[in-house]
């Protein structure tokens, strides 16, 4: 069933809380990169001659300095890629509630779409932690007749989404 044939009543996206971990890690990686690139590697200058001997250290230092900078740049790019992957996940995951069906869509390259009719819904389970209550996100599990189940984690506005789905289930006006 094509999801563009009618406008959804509401669209629920992932909570922005999914960005906290990747941004903190990227910030630490950027701080480490900044330290390595702006410092003269004082720790290496102090320990290097003691460990390797002064003559050997002076011959290895330029290569060691370059390799350290390249490695930290690669690590920082990995952290930035993690934030980008989180952004793609945020932009491509949504719970759409139509008047006659519910659609859960996720994925960028490999797309997973699960659609169920409102008539087929048995119940909606809503869970929210204390932090979820403070930051406004939760999880919804939509059970259908048979073994199908939609599980939407970290949804922003999850209490309203569960109320809307159950109101549609019982034939009431959700808005």
98-169: which CATH topology?
A: PH-domain like (2.30.29)
pLDDT value, residue 19: 92
Q: What is the pTM of this model?
A: 0.74
Q: Is 142 exposed, middle or buried (0-12, 13-18, 19+ CB in 10 A)?
A: buried
Mapped onto helix, strand or coil, the DSSP state of residue 13 is strand
pLDDT in tens, 56-67: 766 777 787 788
């Amino acid at each position: 069933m094509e999801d563009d044939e009618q406008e959804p009543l509401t669209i629920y996206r992932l909570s922005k809380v999914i960005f906290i971990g990747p941004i903190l890690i990227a910030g630490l990686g950027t701080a480490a990169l900044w330290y390595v690139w702006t410092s003269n590697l004082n720790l290496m200058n102090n320990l290097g001659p003691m460990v390797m001997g002064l003559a050997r250290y002076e011959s290895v230092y330029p290569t060691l300095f370059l390799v350290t900078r390249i490695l930290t740049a690669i690590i920082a790019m990995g952290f930035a890629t993690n934030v980008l992957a989180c952004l793609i996940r945020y932009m491509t995951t949504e719970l759409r509630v139509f008047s006659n069906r519910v659609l859960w869509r996720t994925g960028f390259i490999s797309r997973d779409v699960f659609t169920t009719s409102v008539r087929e819904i048995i119940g909606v389970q809503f869970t929210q932690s204390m932090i979820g209550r403070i930051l406004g996100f939760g999880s919804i599990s939509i059970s259908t007749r048979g073994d199908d189940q939609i599980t939407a984690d970290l949804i922003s506005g999850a209490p309203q989404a569960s109320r809307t789905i159950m109101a549609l289930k019982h034939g009431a006006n959700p808005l």
